[in-house]
Amino acid sequence: MRPLDGYRVVELGMWVAAPAAAALLGDWGADVVKVESPGGDPNRYTLKHVGQDVEGSPPFETDNRAKRGVVLDLRTDEGRAALGGLLERADAFITNLRPGALERLALDPDSLRERYPRLVVGTLTGYGWTGPERDRAGYDVSAFWARPGIAAMLNPAGEPPPGIRPGLGDRAAAVNLVAGVLAALLQRERTGEGAVVDVSLLRSGTYAIGNDLALQNHFGKRGRTRPRAEHESPLYNCYRTRDERWFWLVALEGDRHWPGLLKALGREDLGADERFATNRARRGHVRELIAELDAEFAGRTLAGWAERFDAEGVWWA
């Protein structure tokens, strides 16, 4: 038995964010019905949108697993009535249509809660339900990646911001929506009442950089990624091996992890160097230490380092 066996979910979604959330609920046992317009979810044609002359869409298949599907034209009375029949029997409704579109269809949270008081309504928007941008289109590259400032923080000053891999922000927001829907279903077990779960790509992106925001609020300074050769923590940095492979050291607790790394390197002498003896000392000599580590890591293959790291308990990836 799976945790959501017996629960019914109706999804009116497109592209990635809402479909991904509904797919996760389906993975856990919910009976998910995906509602599409006669033209279909545009993610069915995602490769053609970027000029590839191929059939099928693996991204669509990924985020629409574990579902049944129905085509409804919600511009017609028949289509709206059919959707209403599905919602009468549903435990949760998942959508990422924009607020204005949902209001025109009378599928906004207030309308749905009035008609279906036990329904959990989960909406995933670009910028939320209030404010001047409530109906602005929001892919994850815009609302999750660009607007919260994630992209601007990832490269050193003066370099162009990096792109985002397809669907990365959408799936992060989808997990947030799933968490809210599950909490609302639990609350309904206690109260008998449904609830509204409101998730946005903008808030999800903002939460994702919570460390940086907390530091900025406390110290009044904006975080920024430094060039690799100037990383403020040389033991939490990436390096290249003799066979042109890159790996990350993840020795975040510097003084704890430093001795094991020195043993793996066969360079216990670095531990006696006053420039590198403590976390504070290493922070003041990052360029010198990174140069030393670069030279050492260039001397072996990744497989060779993996064996030595694992033998000495060095954290890496």
Structure tokens at 157: 């000053």
Say which DSSP state 160 is in. P
Catalytic residue among 41, 108, 140, 170: 170
- Burial class of residue 175, CB neighbours in 10 A (0-12, 13-18, 19+): middle
91 is catalytic: no
Residue with tokens 């001047």: 132
- The SS3 call for residue 151 is helix
CA pair distance 260, 100, nearest whole angstrom:
58
Q: Could you write out the DSSP letters of every residue in 178-236?
A: HHHHHHHHHHHHHHS--EEEEEEHHHHHHHHTHHHHHHHHHHS----PPPGGG-S-TTS
Q: Which residue from 62, 78, 173 is spatially nearest to 123, judged by alpha carbons?
A: 173
Active site residues: 170
